[in-house]
Structure 1
Amino acid sequence: MDQHAGNQPETTLVPGNLDITQDAVVIVPGIMGSELRDASTGRTVWGLSGVRWLIDAWTRPKGLKALHMTDAELDGAAGRLEPVQLLRHSAWTPYLKGFEPYTDLISAVHACVAHPAAVLEFPYDWRFPVTTNGRLLAAAARRHLSTWREHPAHTDAIRARVDQRPARLVFVAHSMGGLVAQAALDPFHDGDLPADTRAVITLGTPFHGAVKAAAILNTGHGAPAPLPHQRLKSLCTNLPGLHDLLPQYLCMLDGADARHLTPADIEHLGGNRELARLAADSAAKRAAISLPGHRAVVGTNQTTAQSMTLRDGVLHTHCHTVRRNSDHTLVREPDGTLKLFDVQGDGTVHKESAALGTAVTHLPLHHGAVASDPFALRAVQEVLREDTHLGPPMGGPGCGLDIPDLARPGHPWELSLTGLHSPAGITCRITTADPTRPAPPLAPRLHSAGHRLAATITLPAPGLYRVTVTTRDRRHISQMILAADHP
């Protein structure tokens, strides 16, 4: 069995069902979205279930030690850690906050295919460069397509379709997984793979990078940072995969101008100069790779870092960005200063970084929930079923949810909702994300606070919690928060 194949239930094709595609689907998770285990001991080092493990991982001195890149791995030697499967449990990291499991996305994809064998789950070692994992994905996708075309259910599926053609590939990729899929479609790996690909669906992919990646590398410069944030910075300082997420657009505000980040900037703020250089080269090469039938699902309405300034080694992020005129000059105010635009995003990736082309569905979602939201999953299913539009009507605008990523049990913190002026018809619930430790949900009381709604919340005990807000238009916006005692 392919090491990347997931555990799939046995089903049979429903004859004549035109909502079932004959195509082969590959699901590619984002950074930290694959379970990793030690190849020599079999011990899982990332992706275990249970909140206790998460708290230990982020607060104990050696909680993430096994994930740190070794010198041999930085030289390209892989295999010390093995990717096992896509995350099946909720997870959390500082800055990137909560990760919903991929179980709902996997189920949504299986509902659209002729047989479970048509679906390949592609876990990968997200610590390594995007180019490395793209090469592995290209080979795995080719094997998957060839195997599926020989499957008896493939022949039955073709007979049941109006478009009676052999299967092609559809990539469904979340976050960094979209960059891996783009790298896989480099003709250098497999010259026929782009032609054998019908569509690429990306969910919150930072095609132009994310300012938060730079903020992670700068943790602790200029001000004390909570221990989990320090742990993430220590892990990512020499992590090629994180450097591949650094912003590649004009994000550095420098006086009256804006410019790109340089490898020297990355070293100055706490990253690795050589990894930054390699990441920039890799991003430039990926930009020339087209994505066949690309559709993007993009999270919006959330407060999102879009630009930065760097002073005395300390990074300051800003929730606005610059734009160009048609002649490629920067848009400026009448006095010559830069005109700044807040385009928002999904809390991690700003809206314009996650969109390529015009086939885009905007949804008011946080980054970790883009691959699990029912509307996003409907959008994926519409493409898989070869409909002509990307999902159902989007309805109302939803709202923006802003909460910290880490809280102390017993200490109050503030929840903020933007885009709303009245609490009428708005519900907010806070539930535990650990099914082994059920607890009564919290229902904080919302109040108007200028052009937003707010609530003061105190979590009773350590754990991973899910904050869910339901708006009048029945939109659900959710985000995770970890409650833990930390230095």
Structure 2
Amino acid sequence: MRILFSNKTRVIGLLACVLVTSILILVCEIPLNNSRQNDLLKDKSETALAEPESDPAIIILPGIMGSELEADEDHSTFYGGNIEKGDTVWMPDTVSDALESVKDLDTSFISDITLSDISDLIACFKFISTNEKGESINKILPKAVTKNDKQIGTLGSYTELYNTLYKKYSDSYDVIFFSYDWRMSSRDNAKLLDAFIKDKGFTDVTFVCHSMGGIVAAQYLTLSADSAALTERVITIGTPYGGSPKALMVLQDGRYFNFGVLQNNIRDLALNMPAIYELLPTEYAVLSEGYIENDGIILDNEETKNFIKDLARFEKDEESSGTNKLLYQNALDSQSALISEKGHIISDDRFDVYMIAGFNCVTVTKIVEENNLFLKTDKTYFGDGTVSCESAAFYNGELFDNPVYFVDGVDHRSLVKDSDTLELITSIIDKDGQINKDDYNNKKIVDYEDITLRKD
């Protein structure tokens, strides 16, 4: 049986998924135990969309929430219906349809929800939630996709990108959308990616990575010398290598849409989700410019760690202090794996890396605290609305030693749909990076020194 929704629960499900989406999209992974990983590896076709095999491949790595998820077991009492193994749980079809019909979802619509609906919303949160070890409470897998799918990725977010690459390159490359469980750690997903590539026998791989997908690719490059040898090029699009301060807003305060009645539930969901922690600003981002100001003092790296672990308070709970220490430490270890004495793996001269970042969209750069409680944010136009340009293109305060392209006025989610950005991506592939400004819209896509930020 497919998931069944009443009219009321259809709206409730829509709102719940929007709120959960808001939590996760703010901050661009639940470890499977060994037996579950082995089961997933037995049929890697469950995680990718691919045409017949050949040596070279273009692999699209979506960002957080970009892959649909499905139930790996039967489940009951979910919005008045039943879930059977194989049913879509991120996002359920009825919710996807509703979202497609809603064009102007805003704070006022969210605030219309009544107190009688809260228990239903909480039930939705619980289905995708994780325990204190970061393990999924319910069995969930990445949803298999096929070449016949009309939409690629959650809500068709990657349809334009996939279709552009498939139409242009499918005669000479396998063009693959690699679907993965975005709740897992990026390192676990990198290991699954490695197994998939080896199983297919690819020898020349081009990664086209959006948001967190670029972190998965970076983790893949650290796994072995084979990973480096099999990689032809990496193209990143709005990847938050330096993290996002908004992750702390969600972890500390469950703050989004000013929807105070559910802040506690949103925070509880975020506290045990490993992906959120991996998207906190990294050590090198803190060293270059701190992102937490508490009682008028900008925190250094050690002060930042201590604040997140032990001090960050939740205004709805006077007894609260700190976050999930295990998951935070795991995230710090995962971030550290990308750094060596030579610097960040993504700037290693063994790899051809091309970076794309959006700007002139209002983006949070700093969290201002008072007495360990969230107070306000500082913002800039030097970002895509979710990921700052410093996070996407800078290391220790300096521009990455890679070709970097800045796209004017295109927000984080739209970067993989924007026609000029897609043209830039194909130019990079066609000319093996040897492109000039006449090969793309150089009025909209500029070098760092040509950036002009809005002043309003």
Give the secondary structure class of the aligned counterpart of 2:308. Answer: helix
Return the alpha-carbon distance in structure 1 between the equivalents of residues 50 and 199 of structure 2.
18
Counterpart check, 1:108 vs 2:167: no
Contact 1:84 1:123 (C-alpha < 8 Å) held by counterparts = yes
Max Rg structure? 1
Give the secondary structure class of the aligned counterpart of 1:394. Answer: coil
* Deviation of the 1:389 alpha carbon: 2.3
Quick one: which of 306, 314, 336 aligns to 2:365?
Answer: 306
Per-residue Cα deviation, 1:77-115 (whole angstroms, up to 9, x for no partner): 899211015794796xxxxxxx76110111121133243
Distance 1:396 1:369, change over 3 A: closer
The equivalent residue for 2:315 is none
Return the alpha-carbon distance in structure 2 between the equivalents of residues 345 and 28 of structure 1.
21
* Deviation of the 1:26 alpha carbon: 1.0
Counterpart check, 1:357 vs 2:401: yes
Return the alpha-carbon distance in structure 1 between the equivalents of residues 86 and 141 of structure 2.
9
Aligned length: 341
Counterpart check, 1:39 vs 2:80: no
Per-residue Cα deviation, 1:4-59 (whole angstroms, up to 9, x for no partner): 22265x99xxxxxxxxx983111111111110111112221113443537999997
The equivalent residue for 1:388 is 434
* Deviation of the 1:206 alpha carbon: 0.4
Return the alpha-carbon distance in structure 2 between the equivalents of residues 222 and 64 of structure 1.
15
Distance 1:236 1:172, change over 3 A: same
Quick one: which of 64, 68, 73 aligns to 2:125?
Answer: 64
* Deviation of the 1:263 alpha carbon: 5.0
Return the alpha-carbon distance in structure 1 between the equivalents of residues 67 and 370 of structure 2.
36
Counterpart check, 1:370 vs 2:415: yes
Contact 1:85 1:122 (C-alpha < 8 Å) held by counterparts = no
* Deviation of the 1:230 alpha carbon: 5.7
Counterpart check, 1:130 vs 2:189: no
The equivalent residue for 2:143 is 84
Contact 1:210 1:348 (C-alpha < 8 Å) held by counterparts = yes
Give the secondary structure class of the aligned counterpart of 1:194. Answer: helix
Give the secondary structure class of the aligned counterpart of 2:47. Answer: coil
Return the alpha-carbon distance in structure 2 between the equivalents of residues 138 and 247 of structure 1.
26
Return the alpha-carbon distance in structure 1 between the equivalents of residues 401 and 272 of structure 2.
33
Give the secondary structure class of the aligned counterpart of 1:262. Answer: helix
* Deviation of the 1:343 alpha carbon: 5.9
- State TM-score, norm by structure 2: 0.66
Matched letter for residue 358 of structure 2: G
Contact 1:211 1:305 (C-alpha < 8 Å) held by counterparts = yes
Structure 1 unaligned runs (5+)? 12-20, 92-98, 149-166, 321-341, 399-417, 421-450, 453-487
Return the alpha-carbon distance in structure 2 between the equivalents of residues 118 and 191 of structure 1.
23
The equivalent residue for 1:328 is none
Distance 1:3 1:100, change over 3 A: closer
The equivalent residue for 1:30 is 63
Return the alpha-carbon distance in structure 1 between the equivalents of residues 62 and 246 of structure 2.
19
Per-residue Cα deviation, 1:132-155 (whole angstroms, up to 9, x for no partner): 1111112222333x1x5xxxxxxx
Q: Which has the higher contact order (CA 8 A, sep 6+)?
A: 2
Matched letter for residue 305 of structure 2: T
Structure 2 unaligned runs (5+)? 1-42, 74-84, 101-109, 313-321, 394-399, 447-451
Contact 1:343 1:352 (C-alpha < 8 Å) held by counterparts = no
Counterpart check, 1:272 vs 2:332: no
Matched letter for residue 287 of structure 1: I
Return the alpha-carbon distance in structure 1 between the equivalents of residues 306 and 174 of structure 2.
42
Which aligned pairs between 1:137-286 and structure 2 lie closer than 5 A?
Answer: 137-144=193-200, 146=201, 168-186=204-222, 189-220=223-254, 225-226=259-260, 232-248=266-282, 249-250=285-286, 251-254=291-294, 255=296, 257-260=298-301, 261-262=304-305, 264-269=307-312, 271-286=323-338
Per-residue Cα deviation, 1:262-286 (whole angstroms, up to 9, x for no partner): 1542453353122112211211221
Contact 1:346 1:367 (C-alpha < 8 Å) held by counterparts = yes
Per-residue Cα deviation, 1:178-225 (whole angstroms, up to 9, x for no partner): 001100111xx3321112211111110000100111111123579963
* Deviation of the 1:74 alpha carbon: 2.8
* Deviation of the 1:393 alpha carbon: 3.3
Return the alpha-carbon distance in structure 1 between the equivalents of residues 440 and 250 of structure 2.
36
Per-residue Cα deviation, 1:345-370 (whole angstroms, up to 9, x for no partner): 01111111101334111112111111
Contact 2:183 2:275 (C-alpha < 8 Å) held by counterparts = yes
Give the secondary structure class of the aligned counterpart of 1:192. Answer: helix
- State TM-score, norm by structure 1: 0.62
Contact 1:168 1:198 (C-alpha < 8 Å) held by counterparts = yes
Quick one: which of 310, 319, 324 aligns to 2:378?
Answer: 319
Matched letter for residue 327 of structure 2: L
Return the alpha-carbon distance in structure 2 between the equivalents of residues 256 and 78 of structure 1.
39
Per-residue Cα deviation, 1:420-448 (whole angstroms, up to 9, x for no partner): 7xxxxxxxxxxxxxxxxxxxxxxxxxxxx
Distance 1:7 1:120, change over 3 A: closer
Contact 1:205 1:354 (C-alpha < 8 Å) held by counterparts = yes
* Deviation of the 1:256 alpha carbon: 5.0
Distance 1:284 1:7, change over 3 A: closer
Return the alpha-carbon distance in structure 2 between the equivalents of residues 33 and 223 of structure 1.
22
Matched letter for residue 440 of structure 2: P
Return the alpha-carbon distance in structure 1 between the equivalents of residues 306 and 279 of structure 2.
13
Per-residue Cα deviation, 1:118-169 (whole angstroms, up to 9, x for no partner): 122211111111111111112222333x1x5xxxxxxxxxxxxxxxxxx511
Counterpart check, 1:348 vs 2:389: no
Identity across the alignment (%): 25
The equivalent residue for 1:333 is none
Contact 1:300 1:365 (C-alpha < 8 Å) held by counterparts = yes
Return the alpha-carbon distance in structure 2 between the equivalents of residues 234 and 303 of structure 1.
27
> Which of the two has greater helix per residue?
2
